[in-house]
Structures are given as C-alpha cells and as structure tokens.
Amino acid sequence: MELGEYFENTEGLGILATADAEGNVNAAIYARPHVIDEVTVALIMAEGLSYRNVSGNPKATYLFVEKGPGYKGKRLYLTKTGEESDQQLIESMRRRQSKGYQADKAKSRVVYFRLDKIRALVGDDVEQIGR
C-alpha cells in the first residue's frame, strides 16, 4: 500500500516528536500527515511549541499507531523543508474540523517535510521511501 493511501484509509493516533535547537524535546498529538509526493509530507501546524521547535531544529519524528489490537503503525523520520501560511490552502487540506483543540486558524501553517526514513512502529525494519 502506498503511503498516501495508507494515511487516507488507516485510522489511528499520530504523535509528532520535536526538539528545539538546545535539544529540549516535545511530543504532541497530530492528525495524519498529508502525503504530497513520494518524498514529501505536510502537516498543518499551529504556532505552538512543535512549530517553534521545527523552526529552530528541522528534524522531527512522526509516530503513527494504528487503531486496533497489537502494535502496528509507522515511524516517519522527517526534515522540515518549507512552509506556507495561505489560509485557503490550509482549509482545503483539513480532513475534518477538530472537536477538541481549536488552534487560532490565522496562525496555522502548512509545514512541509522531507521523508528521510520510514520504519515499522515496532522493530528495526526500514521501508523503501516511495512505496
């Protein structure tokens, strides 16, 4: 299954792990990433701690745990490559409106990341990027 199809059709919980330039870490719940192409994903980010961290240190890891029994999912190793603040683009990318956390939409960004590596949730297996 291709990565875009996987994230469109697989339910689960996503966590973005970041660190600032000094190495102080943060982890936050995030929606599934938008797969732009074989080597690029995007996340809609509010101007919170995770956004500030990737602005100072572009490396991040996105951990996705599939809904259901067992420990299935993926770990995406990412490097920030750019961002956009176009609110029409952001609204067109939103899969659904959040019922919980309500970020200030005027301060949201689409942040693009290069896929450096994809690993299974558990174990050392590395997936080929572009599959």
Instruction: Give CA angle at 74 (26, 55), nearest 5°.
Output: 35
Write the DSSP symbol of residue 33.
Answer: P
Q: List pLDDT tens digits, range 71-117.
A: 999 999 999 999 999 888 888 888 655 555 455 555 899 999 999 99
pLDDT tens profile 10-49: 999 999 999 999 999 999 999 999 999 999 999 999 999 9
The CATH topology of domain 3-124 is Pnp Oxidase; Chain A (2.30.110)
